[in-house]
Amino acid sequence: MKFAIWGFQSDAEISRHVTEILESLIREGHQLYLLDSFAELLGVDNPDVNVISENEIPSDTDFIISIGGDGTLLSAAQAVMRTPIPILGINLGSLGFLTSLERDWRSGLTEIIKGRYHIEERMVLNCRLEFPDGSEETLWALNDVVIERADIFNLLSLEVRVGDELLNRYLSDGLIMSTPTGSTAYALSAGGPIIDPSLDAILITPISAHTLSVRPVVLTGEENIYLKLSKPDSHAHLHIDGKNTRQIDSSLRIRIRPSAYRIQLVVTPENTFYEKLRKKLHWGQRSS
């Protein structure tokens, strides 16, 4: 089997786990690829490991093993957005909503290699930036597209349309457009609902809205959603999955819709979405 090892942070714990994973997979005769920047951070120099850039991941790779937390997995998702390579996340971070295995990954990895897993296809947002000169830029988000105010002393005024119909003119610190996968990320901390990741839906969650009656809205995603800064000469920050930041202004229109791409996440029988909710959010546990 072919494995690509993905990560972008290094400390003693990460180095120890990566070394053990590489040694284990090499012993079993698997073909290994390691992201070049990650290999440099870890000081890996092994003739049995192919060091590659993120653009050189073989299309027939069986799994990308993301080692870190949810942020690491999101960056891996960006790298394989147009290639249906399953992502197996090993959580060495804190929460780990997207990852399948924890620090005691050994038996779980063995079971996955034996085929005891299933794939969850996760919806992706297509975010198209439409510039006044007619040019466009397309970005993709597994979690969310976030627009936040650039001026800390003024609220952001943002017009949102669903198809041709006005949804609302939001006055807030910002707006989160998230997938069901992203509903347990920034949107959850901003007061949004948790959405089953098997659904195709787009969640709009205002950040500190000026009017308390403005609440999160869940849309089907069957129509294009258009966003535009309402005030002339206003500016904001656009973030894709917490990265890929762009500076935007009122001359730009943003179109959001579900993408044709899907991210494939490896899920083990004992680590389903509902199990994660109970475990990670401590549901059913009494506070001491």
Nearest to 140 by CA among 4, 237, 256, 55: 256
What band does 165 get if pLDDT is binned at 50, 70 and 90? very high
Average pLDDT of span 211-234: 94
Residue 286 has pLDDT above 90, yes or no: no
The active-site residue out of 70, 144, 164, 233 is 70
pLDDT number for residue 83: 86
What band does 287 get if pLDDT is binned at 50, 70 and 90? low
pLDDT in tens, 244-278: 899 999 999 999 999 999 999 999 988 889 999 99
Residue 113 backbone dihedrals phi, psi, to 5 degrees:
-60, -30
pLDDT number for residue 243: 87
What band does 23 get if pLDDT is binned at 50, 70 and 90? very high
- In order of their start, the domains of the chain are 2-117+268-280 (3.40.50.10330), 124-260 (2.60.200.30)
pLDDT number for residue 217: 98
Residue 130 has pLDDT above 80, yes or no: yes
196 given a catalytic annotation: no
Average pLDDT of span 180-198: 96
What percent of the chain stands above pLDDT 90?
87
DSSP labels for 115-138? T--EEEEEEEEEEEEE-TTS-EEE
pLDDT in tens, 50-93: 999 999 999 999 999 999 999 999 999 999 988 889 999 999 98
pTM: 0.93
Average pLDDT of span 225-234: 95
pLDDT number for residue 271: 86
Average pLDDT of span 206-221: 95
